[in-house]
């Protein structure tokens, strides 16, 4: 599985609660785990203490609701976002937010290759992100199911605001 980039500047990694947050948290300066299930949050907090992961926090809520504020806390050129959406894929507003804010790296994990392909096409449209790698993982032998992990890198920095205050 692709690892989050090790950023030289202070940055963060936005991860989903559980395995990914706790397993990858040591690779980044700080991380935020987002999960709808409050019991999963409590479990992740306990596991973080056991694993010595003091550089992260876990928040309850929907990614599409929390991601805008979280992306404002971290510098886009120093941020990796890890997405692990349900089979239906990411919501359109989440994908558009990532295209607008342009974090340095997006790691997208999917259990449904068709929705992953749809979402990656949206993220990579107009050269915003570049698909660096896709790794299929046959975790369910003798079934039609496959997990895929995609590593996307931001190609184009966010455009400068069109309006600016006059200087004196």
Q: Are residues 29 and 40 in the same domain?
A: yes
Beta strands in 18-163 (DSSP E): 30-35, 56-60, 79-83, 105-110, 129-137, 147-154
Q: The domain that contains 138 carries what CATH number?
A: 3.40.50.150
Q: Are residues 110 and 51 in the same domain?
A: no
Q: Are residues 69 and 32 in the same domain?
A: no
Q: Are residues 17 and 67 in the same domain?
A: no
Cα–Cα distance, 49 to 62 (Å, whole number): 24
Q: Are residues 69 and 151 in the same domain?
A: yes
Domain membership of residue 115 (yes or no) is yes
Q: Are residues 107 and 39 in the same domain?
A: no
Identify the band that residue 25 occupies on the pLDDT scale cut at 50, 70 and 90: confident
Identify the band that residue 7 occupies on the pLDDT scale cut at 50, 70 and 90: very low
Q: Are residues 57 and 129 in the same domain?
A: no
**Predicted confidence (pLDDT) per residue in 47-61, tens digit:** 999 999 999 899 998
Q: Which residues of 112-149 are buried (b: 16+ CB within 10 A; e: fewer)?
A: beebbeebbebbbeeebbeeeebeeeeeeeeeeeebbb
Q: Per-residue pLDDT averaged across 131-159, rounded?
A: 88
Q: Are residues 82 and 120 in the same domain?
A: yes
Domain membership of residue 57 (yes or no) is yes
Structurally, how many domains does the chain consist of? 2
Q: Per-residue pLDDT averaged across 35-42, rounded?
A: 89
Q: Which pTM was predicted?
A: 0.82
Q: Per-residue pLDDT averaged across 7-33, rounded?
A: 70
Q: Give 9's contacts (C-beta < 8 A, 6+ positions apart).
A: 75, 77, 78
Cα–Cα distance, 29 to 4 (Å, whole number): 11
Q: Are residues 151 and 68 in the same domain?
A: yes
Is pLDDT above 70 for 4?
A: no
Beta strands in 28-104 (DSSP E): 30-35, 56-60, 79-83
Cα–Cα distance, 70 to 11 (Å, whole number): 12
Count CB atoms within 10 A of the CB of residue 50.
9
Q: Give the active site residues.
A: 111
Domain hosting residue 143, numbered range: 62-156
């Amino acid at each position: 599985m692709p690892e989050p980039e090790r950023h030289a500047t202070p940055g963060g990694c936005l991860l989903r609660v559980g395995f990914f947050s706790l397993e990858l948290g040591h690779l980044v300066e700080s991380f935020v785990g987002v999960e709808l299930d409050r019991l999963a949050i409590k479990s992740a907090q306990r596991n973080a203490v056991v694993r010595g992961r003091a550089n992260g926090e876990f928040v309850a809520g929907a990614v599409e609701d929390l991601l805008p504020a979280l992306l404002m806390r971290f510098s886009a050129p120093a941020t990796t976002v890890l997405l692990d959406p349900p089979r239906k894929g990411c919501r359109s507003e989440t994908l558009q937010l990532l295209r607008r804010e342009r974090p340095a790296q997006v790691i997208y994990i999917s259990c449904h290759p068709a929705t992953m392909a749809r979402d990656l096409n949206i993220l990579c449209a107009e050269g915003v992100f570049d698909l660096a790698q896709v790794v299929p993982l046959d975790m369910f032998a003798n079934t039609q199911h496959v997990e895929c992990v995609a590593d996307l890198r931001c190609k184009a920095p966010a455009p400068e605001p069109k309006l600016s205050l006059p200087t004196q």
